Amino acid sequence: MKNLLVIQSGGPTAVINSSLAGVIKGGFERSDKTGKVFGGLFGIEGVEQEKIVSLEKFKEDGLLDLLKQTPSSYLGSCRKKLPDPQEDKAFFENIFGILKKYDIGYFFCIGGNDSMDTVNKMSRYAKEVGSDVVVVGVPKTIDNDLNLTDHTPGFGSAAKFILNSMRQLKKDTEVYQVPSVVILEAMGRNAGWLAASAALANDSTMNACDVVCLPEVAFDVDAFLGKVDNVAKKQGSVMVCVSEGIRDKDGKYIMENEGILKRKNDKFGHAALGGVGQTLRDMVARNLGLKARSIELSTLQRCWSSGASLCDVTEAYGAGRMAVEYACQGLGGVVPGFKRLSDEPYKMEIVPYDVTEIANVEKKIPSSMISSDGFGVTEEFIKYAKPLACGEPELKYRDGQIQFAPKVW
């Protein structure tokens, strides 16, 4: 009877704690195989520092429900890139020594692209040294850029925040008789899933998203201005959603061209972005003479659990539980992912994917989901993305405040 240890890693999402709740619940349910449920604080760094806490208190009524509506990593996170197990054995010896001390047999890491690299290396090391620790990943990322899986927990809720921002901002912008352009800046470095999801704001009664600018399409200033101008002439106000990571045909970030922001890269070598919405706003105002406003959703889009998608919450929870199932079956080095069975009605099943095929690969929007002019999405994208934003969870509030799980340590 081995214990279970779960960590969270990478950037927050609205449902990363739903997956945590799933792992905890899974641990409680499989008490035939598992002992105590522990959490490591601040990702793998916390394990290194032996910041390990009991999560047994979540057996109390209602606490897991509160955890499911708590955004961001309840256990804390880190952005540490693990060394190669071949090159730095000492790092892994230390980690696995701590796992042994707590009698851990099942290790879970809930995270995105970079965190799957952690799962991969931990799993490889375990195999190499013949450890009986089973390492399983649980996918999360608002960016939806994980390989193999149909989609990733966290995306649906972020997409929903963006689409409902577009809808409500459209109402806000059409109140005056003066035509105006609203430019919403969404996250997404290399994959434009989030910016594209703004197109889910449209329905038969209103155009709440007229233009999307995606990193998958080389950004051309003249084409963009022409598109905005056309829409403005036709209907007055123009709603734009731009991905933070758009680049020109030479692969240069648009902001770099404009010389507005030059920030340092992060530990994984990703450029720090943000501010492209302002660049586009100035472009529109200067060249088209239209009233323009840019809004950067910033971190709100990844922590807005008060507007989460029920589909997303349910699936994130399901992936967490299934991860425990896999671990109990001795299936290490895998990640529960989603395989779509049908769009309408939406049906999917959770299947184990090999983490080596997920780690360090970024899934971009296929060209079949992007409209021919590059400033919109096709029906295929809508069919794909719509079900992921559906459903509203019942949330607990007190005095107008969304309620969160209290610290149990």
**Residue 236, interface with its own copies (CB under 8 A)?**
no
Among 186, 284, 303, 355, binds its own copies (CB under 8 A): 303
**Residue 3, interface with its own copies (CB under 8 A)?**
no
Rounded Cα gap, residues 154 and 18, in angstroms = 10
Size of the site for its own copies (CB under 8 A): 59
Q: Binding pattern to its own copies, positions 52-91, x when CB under 8 A?
A: ------------------xxxx--xxxx------------
**What is the residue-wise DSSP string for 77-145?**
---PPPPPTTT-HHHHHHHHHHHHHTTEEEEEEEE-HHHHHHHHHHHHHHHHHT---EEEEEE--TT--
CB 288, CB 232: distance < 8 Å = yes
* Cis amide bond preceding 345, omega within 30: yes
Helix or strand or coil: residue 74? coil
Q: Least distance from C-beta 406 to its own copies, angstroms?
A: 5
Q: Least distance from C-beta 171 to its own copies, angstroms?
A: 4
**Strand 291-296 vs strand 347-354: parallel, antiparallel, or unpaired?**
unpaired
Nearer to its own copies, 302 or 363 (CB): 302
**Residue 397, interface with its own copies (CB under 8 A)?**
yes
Could you confirm whether 143 is annotated as catalytic? yes
Nearer to its own copies, 71 or 85 (CB): 71
Rounded Cα gap, residues 334 and 344, in angstroms = 29
**Residue 346, interface with its own copies (CB under 8 A)?**
no
| CA atoms within a 13 Å half-sphere pointing along the CA-CB vector of 307 | 14
Nearer to its own copies, 138 or 389 (CB): 389
For residue 88, give every residue at least 6 positions away whose Cβ sits within 8 Å of its Cβ, in sequence order, or none: none
> If you compute the radius of gyration of the chain from its CA atoms, what whole number of angstroms results?
22
Among 176, 252, 366, 373, binds its own copies (CB under 8 A): 176
Helix (H) or strand (E) holding 165: helix 155-173
Among 50, 128, 132, 172, binds its own copies (CB under 8 A): 172
Q: Least distance from C-beta 359 to its own copies, angstroms?
A: 21
**Residue 175, interface with its own copies (CB under 8 A)?**
yes
For residue 175, give every residue at least 6 positions away whose Cβ sits within 8 Å of its Cβ, in sequence order, or none: none
**Residue 207, interface with its own copies (CB under 8 A)?**
no
Q: Least distance from C-beta 236 to its own copies, angstroms?
A: 11
Nearer to its own copies, 242 or 322 (CB): 242
Measured torsion, CA atoms of residues 341, 349, 311, 110, in degrees rounded to the nearest 10 = -140
Residues between 306 and 345 that touch its own copies (CB under 8 A):
306-307, 309
Q: What is the token pair recorded at 199?
A: 């197109």
The one catalytic residue in 84, 114, 132, 143 is 143
Nearer to its own copies, 297 or 328 (CB): 297
The residue range among 111-119, 224-232, 296-304, 324-332 that interacts with its own copies, by the rule CB under 8 A, is 296-304
**Strand order across the 238-243 sheet:** 211-213, 238-243, 180-186, 291-296
List of residues contacting its own copies (CB under 8 A): 8, 12, 42, 45, 70-73, 76-79, 160, 163-165, 167-169, 171-177, 200-201, 203, 205-206, 293, 295-296, 298-300, 302-307, 309, 386, 389-392, 395, 397-402, 404, 406-407
- Catalytic residue list: 143
